Structure formats: structure tokens, C-alpha cells
Amino acid sequence: MSRYAYVNGRYLPLRDAKVHVEDRGYQFADGVYEVCEVRGGRLIDERRHIERLQRSLEEIRIPLPMSTKALGVILREVVARNRIGYGIVYLQINRGVARRDHAFPSPAVAPSVVVTARPLNKARNEALAKNGIAVIGVPDNRWGRVDIKTVGLLPNVLARQTAIDQGARDAWFVDAGGYVTEASSANAWIVTKDGTLVTRRADHAILRGITRTVVFDEVKGQQGLRIEERSFTLEEAYAAREAFITSASQIVLPVVRIDGRTVGDGKPGPVATALRQEFYRYAEAG
């Protein structure tokens, strides 16, 4: 099936969807992005993703190039044109096109806007969740503002490839103090021996995941679950009862091995499984 993209005001077949070589997103990773899950053709948690986008843009001083309502229309149009039932929609906004110079273009140029969408394989994702994944710890060598969702993802790319090269599925970044920050494209969680959910505080060292936020709401809605926002080490994670990661494209994905050590009994645990199953009772479908 042909795929379509939105590029700066036009809907184009993917093969014709191109950006300028002097786009600052291309030359400096001077841009931000969002990824939203699509389920039953509907955007999941659009409002929160757009709010986070606005925050990312503000932090790097790119003006919102159109109303959030207009952005929503484009997202939906790209989902519809690509006939996505289950998948993801990707939105990127860059500072724009200008002769290569580190400083912001002066006068300012129009930001670039690109939207693409693609289907995800539901059976494959469900199988992953049923078996759980292996992760490895890698040093967190990223810049100090990874709370901003910028397209500058080279450390994340290298971390993911290192994990794959070692037979794992993903990497958990570990900061200089020995504490886990997050996964290469997801937030990291453990469930301790006494049943407490632990995930790192959302400061400048992690991205405040939308899925993470929804899981907080889920936990509040479920009896008997405790949650602590604090740092944890890899050693604590090895000894945890359960571990999992959260992201828009995988929701709640159990982690069953960390650095070759089995977590819990080596199978997805009941807390992660329940959070995954109940997720859509707490997410917003638009």
C-alpha cells in the first residue's frame, strides 16, 4: 500500500516527501518530535503529546508554526491517508531552512513540519510482551536536557545497536552515579520485592513519558499498588521482582533479563501484565 507524508503544507506520496538539505533538523538536529500511538484508527493521548511538544518547542525557542487544532487535523489526515488502524504517527518540527550557521536564522524562518505514519504489527508486539525482553546497561552519555524531545538521538541509536549486538532488545542508560535513567526510547521501571513500583523522578535526566504519566494514573486507580519516584541502580533492578519499560509504541513491555541476569522468575510479572492490559482504561482516545 502506498504511504503518504505531510511536508510543509502538502500531503505527498512518501517517495516524493523530501526536505531541503539546509533544513536545520538535518544539519544540527535542531528540532523536536512526538510519536503517538494509533489504535482503532484513533490517536492515543493526543492532548498530552501535543502539550509535551509545545513544551519541547518552548525550551528550544521554536515558535509553534500553527494552532494545536490545525496540527491535530494534519495528524488525523496522515493517519487516514495511510489507513492506519494500529500503528504510530510521527510529527517533527525543525527550526527551518537557512544557510548553515549555528546561530538561529535572523530574521527567523518558518519552522519545517513533517508528519508520517506507519502500521505496527500487533501480533509481533503481543508476542514480545508475552515473552518479555532482555536489556543491557550502558553508560548514559547524553546531554543534560533529555527532558526535551529533540531529534538528536545519536546516543540512543548507538545504545540500541549495542544492545542488539549483544543479543538484547534494548539498553538502559546508567548515569555517572550508577543509577538507571531510562531506556533508549522508553522509561524504565522496576517492582521491588515488597511490591512497590519504582521509576525515576522526571527531572532533566529523563523524558517525561506520556505512557509513564498514564501508568501513574493507573496505579492510583488500582488498590494496593504503591509507587515511588526515585532513582534505582542496576543491582536493585537485578534483584527486583519485575521490571518493565513504557513507551507510546509498546505501552508496557516486560523486561525479563538485565545484563544476562534473570529478573524474578524470568517471565513477565503480574504487575506489568495487569498495567498493560488495563492501560486503555486510563489513556485518552481521541
CB 243 within 8 A of CB 192: no
We find the least distance from the C-beta atom of residue 129 to ligand PMP, in angstroms, to be 15
Q: Can you tell me which of 56, 82, 116, 187 binds ligand PMP, judged by CB under 6 A?
A: 187
Longest Cα pair distance anywhere in the chain, in angstroms?
A: 60
We find the least distance from the C-beta atom of residue 212 to ligand PMP, in angstroms, to be 6
Q: How far apart are CA 108 and CA 37, in angstroms?
A: 32
For ligand PMP, which stretch binds (CB under 6 A), given 8-16, 109-117, 122-130, 205-213? 205-213
Q: How far apart are CA 260 and CA 136, in angstroms?
A: 8
For ligand PMP, which stretch binds (CB under 6 A), given 104-112, 227-235, 242-250, 277-285? 242-250
We find the least distance from the C-beta atom of residue 2 to ligand PMP, in angstroms, to be 27
We find the least distance from the C-beta atom of residue 250 to ligand PMP, in angstroms, to be 8
Closer to ligand PMP at the Cβ: 94 or 199? 199
Q: Can you tell me which of 152, 209, 254, 264 binds ligand PMP, judged by CB under 6 A?
A: 209
Q: Can you tell me which of 56, 112, 185, 199 binds ligand PMP, judged by CB under 6 A?
A: 185
Q: How far apart are CA 74 and CA 64, in angstroms?
A: 14
Q: How far apart are CA 66 and CA 71, in angstroms?
A: 7
Q: Can you tell me which of 76, 212, 257, 276 binds ligand PMP, judged by CB under 6 A?
A: 212
Q: Can you tell me which of 5, 71, 210, 275 binds ligand PMP, judged by CB under 6 A?
A: 210
Q: Is 211 in the site for ligand PMP (CB under 6 A)?
A: yes
Site residue total, ligand PMP (CB under 6 A): 13
CB 30 within 8 A of CB 95: yes
Which residues between 124 and 153 bind ligand PMP (CB under 6 A)?
A: none
Q: How far apart are CA 280 and CA 193, in angstroms?
A: 27
**In this structure, what is the dihedral angle of CA atoms 221, 183, 286, 278, given to the nearest 10 degrees?**
-30
- The residues facing 189 across adjacent strands are 199, 244
220 catalytic? Reply is no
| Burial tier of 2 (Cβ tally within 10 Å: 0-12, 13-18, 19+) | exposed
We find the least distance from the C-beta atom of residue 188 to ligand PMP, in angstroms, to be 9
For ligand PMP, which stretch binds (CB under 6 A), given 3-11, 16-24, 241-249, 257-265? 241-249
Catalytic residue among 69, 149, 193, 267: 149
Cell 548515569 locates to 175
3-state secondary structure 154-221: HHHHHHHHHHHHCCCCEEEEECCCCEEEEECCCEEEEECCCCEEEECCCCCCCCCCHHHHHHHHHHHH
Task: Please provide the distance, in angstroms rounded to a whole number, between the alpha carbons at the two ends of the chain.
Answer: 25
Q: Can you tell me which of 174, 207, 243, 263 binds ligand PMP, judged by CB under 6 A?
A: 207
Report the interface residues with ligand PMP, using CB under 6 A: 35, 182, 185-187, 207, 209-212, 246-248
Residues marked active site are found at 149
